[in-house]
Amino acid sequence: MNIAATFPGLMALPVRERASLAVELIDSLGDQSWSESELATMVDERDEELEKGAVKPMAYAEFLSGIQLPSLSR
């Protein structure tokens, strides 16, 4: 499977399906996994940080520009 070729299709999924996939991927990482309620709590905390101005929001393009992706071709 080529992740680079699959990514655009994954991004076209509805938000709920992408969120579900994200949970599954996080859970697949091993020991550190979170329940849906723990993830919801983290989202709420992050939202509160944004609302209070404790953190600065970042544009999606800015976020992507800072990501260093490993080579995805095999």
Taking only the tens place, the pLDDT of each residue in 10-30 is 889 998 888 888 888 877 877
Domain segments of the chain as ranges: 1-30, 34-68
Query: How far apart, in whole angstroms, are the C-alpha atoms of residue 32 and residue 17?
Result: 22
Per-residue confidence (pLDDT) for residue 8, from 0 to 100: 84
Please, are residues 65 and 59 in contact by the beta-carbon 8 Å criterion? no
74 within 8 A of 3, measured Cβ to Cβ: no
The pLDDT tens digits for 58-70 are 888 888 787 766 5
Q: 3 Cβ partners below 8 Å, 6+ apart?
A: 72
Q: What b-and-e string marks burial along 7-32, b requiring 16 or more CB atoms within 10 Å of the CB?
A: eeeeeeeeeeeeeeeeeeeeeeeeee
Task: Say what the pLDDT of residue 74 is.
Answer: 46
Check: pTM over 0.85? Answer yes or no.
no
